[in-house]
Amino acid sequence: MRTNEEVVREAYRLAEGSVLDGDGFRALFTEDGAFNDMPNSMSFRGDEIPQALLGFASAFPDVHRELLAVHAIGAVVAVELRIQGTHLGGFPTPVGEIPPTGNRIDVPTADFWHLRDGKIERFDCYNAANVLLAQIGVKPDFDSAIEAAKTAAAGA
């Protein structure tokens, strides 16, 4: 039986743009396992899990995860990493798709993997989504945020 760290390292290998094996990645999870994209409040469960990989790889087909530190502590594996790639595909947002820019991303991330009996029960990914967006050219719209706050305050 593989160690928890070995299972997690295999998950990263299968998620690489050069490998991208969604079914193999899914097979590492428990039947009711979950992949939680924390900054975007998105959760993928069971057979939805490969969608998380494929969706990201459609925007960044050369995605690579540079593992900086891996700490296995009982049933939890904590990983500090950088998600890297080139924005070569459309990036979906709630109001439409951001067309490819060709920009490189290098996003600081912390991942927490919770395992049970050699399988991933829960994967919580905390990536710096604001850094990713800035790197593909998305600037915050502070003017709209200020106007919305003023409108909300006036209505209170």
Q: Token pair of 44, please?
A: 């993928």
Q: Token pair of 90, please?
A: 């459309």
Cα separation, 7 vs 13, in Å, equals 10
Kindly provide the b/e burial profile for residues 95-111, where b requires at least 16 CB atoms within 10 angstroms of the residue's own CB. Answer: eeebeeeeeebebebbb
Cα separation, 109 vs 144, in Å, equals 28
Are 29 and 52 a contacting pair, CB within 8 Å?
no
pLDDT tens digits for the chain (156 residues)? 899 999 999 999 999 999 999 999 999 999 999 999 999 999 999 999 999 999 999 999 999 999 999 999 999 999 999 999 999 999 998 889 999 999 999 999 999 999 999 999 999 999 999 999 999 999 988 898 899 999 999 986
